[in-house]
Amino acid sequence: MFYILLLAVLVIFAFAIYRLGLDRALALPFWRSFTYGTRASFLRGVSKKTGVTLFDVTPARPPVRFIGVMGGATVFLQIIGTNLGRLIGGEGVTMLLGSLMAAALVVAIWLPFVRAQIHRRRVRIGVTSAGIRLAGGVFHPAHDVGQVYVRAAIDAPQNLMLLNERFATGISNLGRGVTRLLAARSWLVTFYHRESGREDVLAGGLTETCAEELAQAIIDVLQQETAPPDADDTLAAARREETDIE
């Protein structure tokens, strides 16, 4: 049984490398995200060589409180699922079903975090009146760039769950609180393609204010006429724009 499970894990890992690449299969962007600061920020400057306006975007790190609370909930659910199966049917199929039910709840718990982490990475965006160039040389011409806008990567829960008029469920409130904190650090700057209507994400892992400022800065560059750069207007001398994420 052990060797079958090991083989299955290796097959899944090989498939992940094939589809996502080694970097994402090893979850390296996830681990790097904890090295970011407690502020989402972007550097703006103009390349003296090409005249392209450059935006170096650094997202905020994910909230450690979310990891702690949801990690504790994960362990709790796994214990409950295993023991529920053992109490109902002992060893065997019933115990397995109990564990699978707990695993399904764990997936539901961590789904917002996964969605928030997908675009939480440092990016460099090059913008001129001709269009947007992303890392790797991908270029989106201005005539195909529709509205540049901001949206939330996940929905923050709005209301607390009350047991009655006087008491609230502590675990539910704590989970909702850390999910709201995660949502506050997970805004995206996106745009849609005029020709296909497809959406592309330019940057993620930002606060709403920082994302709005970045989106507006990109729009301003797209709409301006091309002008020769100043000698002092370089990325090294760029103005730092940041916003407190707390």
pLDDT tens digits for range 41-69: 999 998 888 889 999 999 999 888 888 88
127 in the same domain as 160: yes
Predicted confidence at residue 234, as pLDDT, reads: 40
Predicted confidence at residue 157, as pLDDT, reads: 61
165 in the same domain as 48: yes
215 in the same domain as 151: yes
Q: 190 CB contacts (<8 Å, ≥6 apart)?
A: 148, 149, 150, 151, 199, 200, 201, 202
246 in the same domain as 175: yes
- For residue 110, pLDDT over 70 is answered with yes
Predicted confidence at residue 22, as pLDDT, reads: 72
143 in the same domain as 94: no
- For residue 212, pLDDT over 60 is answered with yes
Q: Residue 79 in contact with residue 99, Cβ under 8 Å?
A: no
Domain's final residue, options 102, 118, 134: 118
54 in the same domain as 164: yes
Predicted confidence at residue 235, as pLDDT, reads: 40
193 in the same domain as 96: no
Predicted confidence at residue 95, as pLDDT, reads: 64
How far apart CA 104 and CA 77 sit, in angstroms, is: 10
Mean pLDDT of 3-28: 73
183 in the same domain as 70: no
Give the domain CATH number at 138: 2.30.29
- For residue 75, pLDDT over 70 is answered with yes
Which range marks the domain in which residue 151 is found? 40-62+120-246
Predicted confidence at residue 172, as pLDDT, reads: 55
195 in the same domain as 180: yes
78 in the same domain as 186: no
How far apart CA 162 and CA 201 sit, in angstroms, is: 37
Domain's final residue, options 75, 90, 118: 118
Predicted confidence at residue 151, as pLDDT, reads: 93
Predicted confidence at residue 51, as pLDDT, reads: 85
**How would you classify the pairing of strands 53-58 and 199-206?**
unpaired
Per-residue pLDDT tens for 152-185? 998 766 444 444 444 444 455 566 777 888 888 9
Mean pLDDT of all residues in the chain?
Answer: 76
Q: Does 174 or 146 have the greater pLDDT score?
A: 146
